[in-house]
Amino acid sequence: MYSYKIRFEKGNIQISGKWTSLKALKKSCLLVIEAFYKDCVVDEIIVFKHRKIHSFRNGDFNIDKTKNSDFAENCKRINDLQEYHKGRAVAENDVNSPYFDVDQAIASFDFDPPDSNFQRGYLRGLIKSGYATIFSKWDGVLV
């Protein structure tokens, strides 16, 4: 059985039911996006097989190549995924602080690579915030 979660740039999440094939899931997912979330930008679609992560997809339901398979293997459990998204949420709140230096926070990961799902999510949230002018070699990479 397959299911999915859609994460939009604004942070709202649409959770689906269960399908027996990826083809049926893709059709349903794209219909939901087109019918109800036409004006929203899809950040990622997470496809689950039973309770484990099967793959990460983009808004067109193609496999997201920016996330390597090692990350998907490490995030098998839903709790790990929740920790990852908690890290992204904390980063999104931190970048809105008036004295927070996003580039310095990203650069700090070069000396101490992210070693938990929360830290990986935090780094990804910093980079995707729109305020960053640099990139980290550790984004999407497991250590």
- CA 37 – CA 30 distance, rounded (Å): 10
* 9-31 mean pLDDT: 82
- CA 80 – CA 74 distance, rounded (Å): 8
Q: What is the DSSP letter of 63?
A: B
Checking if the pLDDT of 70 tops 60, the result is: no
pTM assigned to the model: 0.48
Q: What is the pLDDT of residue 87?
A: 92
Domain boundaries, the chain: 1-65, 67-143
Ramachandran assignment for 61, one of left (phi > 0), alpha (psi -120 to 50 degrees), beta (any other): left
Per-residue pLDDT reduced to its tens digit, 73-88: 555 667 778 888 899 9
Q: What is the pLDDT of residue 140?
A: 54
Q: Are 14 and 6 in contact (CB under 8 A)?
A: yes
